Amino acid sequence: MEFKDKSEVRETNPAPMRREIPPNYFRVPCKDIAQVQHSGNQYHIRDGMGKPAPRLNEAVYGDLLGNGSDFIIFKKGSQYRVCDSAGKNSSFRSEQVCGEFRGVSGQYITFEKGNFIYTYDKNFRQVGSPQRILP
């Protein structure tokens, strides 16, 4: 094996400058829910930046009960339905199982059944033990 005394010169091209990535480039559109409005038979949902999400039809989803930061709860007949801002990833639960809807607080949904308050997350998993309603 022989080595050449002559050094090898390679020409290199500098890498082109990268463009700056926009601040909202990786943001998932309308994951958070800032407001829900009802008009006609449609629910209009907007995220924190005011961008609209797909509209949800009242005939399909039922009556709007409330919303958290990333979910909406509806009631149609005797079924409660929790879904995301696009109307997907739905969880269903019967009114007979949960009780009467009381409200949404942060990431939790509260129901009243008998003399107890039950707290559920957006997937209808019970959080903590039932609390007796004080007289």
What are the domain boundaries of the chain? 35-132
pLDDT over 90 percentage in the chain? 50
pLDDT of residue 27: 57
> Which is more confident, 15 or 120?
120
Residue 10 pLDDT > 90: no
Q: Which of 12-16, 23-27, 87-91, 119-123 has the highest mean pLDDT?
A: 119-123
Residue 133 pLDDT > 80: yes
User: At 73, is the pLDDT very low, low, confident or very high (cuts 50, 70, 90)?
Assistant: very high
Average pLDDT over residues 26-50: 81
pTM (2 d.p.): 0.74
- The position carrying tokens 């959080």 is 127
Which DSSP string do the residues of the chain spell out, in sequence order? ----SSPP----PPPPPPPPPPTTTTPPTT-S--EEEEETTEEEEE-TTSPBPPPEEHHHH-EEEEE-SS-EEEEETTEEEEE-TTS-S-EEEEHHHH-EEEEEETTEEEEEETTEEEEE-TT--B-S--EEPP-
pLDDT of residue 66: 93
Q: Considering only 25-34, 53-62, 104-113, 116-125, which range has the smallest mean pLDDT?
A: 25-34
Residue 30 pLDDT > 80: no
Residue 26 pLDDT > 70: no
